[in-house]
Structure 1
Amino acid sequence: MLTIAITTMRRFVFLKENIPTFLAHPQVNEVVVCDETGEDAALLEEQPFYTNPKLRVITNDSCLGIYQNKRKSIGISMSKYVAVLDSDNYFSEEWIDEIVEALRNSDGKTLFASADFKNINLKTNEFTFPCQEFSGLRLDKTNWNLMFERPRWNFLLNDGNWVVPRTVYTSLPKEVSSESLQAADAIFMLKCFIQRGYSIHYLPGLSYVHTVHDGSTWLQTAKESTRILNTTDWRL
């Protein structure tokens, strides 16, 4: 039913924890890892789960960047649905179970994500819930523009952990020249999906551990997308 597609660059410590959970789940057909540098791939080769036939580890010929790497990971997936996940977070068996249950009743045009994820600051070990106010929200063309009137829209829309129908691949342009769009890849991709008639449902209660650390892409892109809102309008 489901492909787990993980884009990574020097995030082995997270991969080592997550991949066995994904491989063990009966509803996960495959786990695809797209590695930007090959460093994680080399370390994964030393793990006992590396020979699992459900695991595919691909090293990119060159560093593609976040957007192109995610686009690639969706395109090479073989399941009807793809969980597109950042490598520096933690997901449980229960997270997969809840996603699978949602997919059983899906219309094929809905993406699923979490607004109930909890941030852990790796320096302080403190937890916060930055997007919980959006739990249960359904976003589509009718209310997309309204999101930008809400104070914390950037932290929600720049979270790039979604479960998508594989058909969304055709919504994503092959070439993206704007550095601004590359700097806020998640919101750019979501806008592409919404424009093509997809919707996104932030499932109530769906949760995972979202890490915040030095170099966190989520923090960087959330701030960047706000800065460029006036020059690159995310509205439809």
Structure 2
Amino acid sequence: MKQQTPKIKDIPTQVKNPDLVERRRRQIVDAAVQLFIEKGFHKTTTRQIANAAGFSIGSLYEYVASKEDVLYMVCDAIHAEVQRGLQSALARAGKGRDALSEMIREYFLVCHRMSDHILLIYQETQALPTQWRENVLESELGISGVFVKVLAQMATSGNMPHLDEHSIELIAHNITVLGHMWAFRRWFLARHYSIEDYIKLQTDFILGISTRSSEDIHSNL
């Protein structure tokens, strides 16, 4: 039998109030991100995380069991924020090119707000236990999957020339990576583009790709 991948709810807590757990864990996440970036995951101690979050070390362990739990919570916070943003954008925009444009915009804005968190995922995900790491990768694929669904709907409805399954999947992954690119190359990009400029240019680029035929795309690969 395949072992079930753990979820954020599986992180042990001694606190029974779920709203309080969510608030306190968000404080822990925000404090830990800066420490992990400045010192590195392995050199940061749980006591330092507790101090930065305004907790005693004992209080910290009421909400998490280990430093690895905190790192996983950082990853989960990003994915949860992205999913909320994409669902909200999809509800606002409806269908077609407007839906895709609105979703790209919302996704890039989340990447902008959570740039430090995204950098941390790239730097430290390998420090997670295997099952946590697998769950992070599943969540990443889930984000790309939302874009796959919208692109497939556009192809089916005639809002763009038909693209085959592989081309749609590749475009969806391009979108997710372009959002991450703002985070890990902002040291350069932010000097030359505002986030609004970046969103517009990349959206035009993505929509340009998505309106080409599969034959055009594959002939240039």
Relative to the length of structure 2, the TM-score reads: 0.31
Whichever of the two has the greater Rg, that structure is 2
- Larger RCO (CA under 8 A, 6+ residues apart): 1
Structure 1 or 2: larger helix share? 2
Larger fraction in strand: 1
